[in-house]
Amino acid sequence: MEIAILFNPKKKGVEEIVARVFSFLKRRGIKVKFLKSASDFGYSQSIVKKRDFLKNTSLLIAIGGDGTILASSHLVEERSIPIMGINVGSLGFLTLFSPKSALPALNDFLKGKAKMEERMALRAFFRKRIFFALNDVCINFGPTLRAIDIFLYSRDKYISHFLGDGVIIATPTGSTAYSLACGGSIIHPSLSCLIITPISPHGLTARPLILSAEEEIIIELGEKSERGVLVIDGQKRLPIQPKERVKVSAAKGKVKLLSPEEFDYFSILRQKMRWGG
């Protein structure tokens, strides 16, 4: 068996947790793989090239915060490789395991007893390139910091037009991220749907909208709009010009996340988002 580890070296205490996980796996004869960024932490003999990082990999362990989970999902994309998140961050909404619970959970995985959740993801088509997102695809205002002119379509059907700071297309998993901060609804992650959330629209009628995951959302900047920025999961940024379009749809495959046996989504909402008092 081969297991890959991706971690955020900037997180306090992450080195100790990585060392414990690495030692646990090596004692069981498992091949452990790291990317080049881990070479400064004493794992030089386990470094592999990026193209081999997920080859024959049974599990990807993400040690850090939610950003590490997002980075891991971008590596995995639509492959059927589960991701296990160990939280060393502050919020840890997607990193479902604490450092204390990680090793027992790993032991369960090795015995074939792991519980997994499948999460819907997005595909964004822009300038003949395809981008993968677990949380959201956003268009924000550009370097001028002025409002942008946004037109929305569902396939060939016109939805709406508004002036504002941008728009978010989120998954149910991403509904508790940027979309929530902009007034979007919380959607249970077991569902499949697309959430359209305007960002600071200049008007009272541009409200969040939930559509079927079968739809394809087209975002277009108006001909006289200011320039914008396309943002993928807060990780990748690309400039977008007036009259350019971004097409967003559900990815064909889903992201698999290991979850604790006692995982309770509503408890997570109350504890980490302080939802409902």
Q: Which of 40, 52, 66, 108 is catalytic?
A: 66
233 given a catalytic annotation: no
Tell me how far CA of residue 187 lies from CA of 69, 92, 121, 139, 178, in angstroms: 19, 18, 14, 21, 13
Sheet holding 83-87, edge to edge: 31-33, 2-7, 57-64, 83-87, 255-259, 115-119
d(CA 14, CA 87): 9
* Cβ proximity of 7 and 102 under 8 Å: no
Q: 66 a known binding residue? A: yes
Kindly state the tokens that stand for 9.
């070296």
Report d(CA 94, CA 101) in Å as an integer.
Answer: 15
Q: Does residue 52 have a known ligand-binding role?
A: no
Instruction: Please indicate if the annotation marks 40 as binding a ligand.
Output: no
DSSP character at residue 178: H
- Six-digit token pair at 25? 């796996």
- 241 in a known ligand binding site: no
- Sign for the CA dihedral angle at 153, 198, 64, 105 comes to negative
Q: Is 156 annotated as a binding residue?
A: no
Binding residues for NAD(+): 66-67, 135-136, 146, 165, 235
Binding residues: 66-67, 135-136, 146, 165, 235
Supply the residues annotated as catalytic.
66
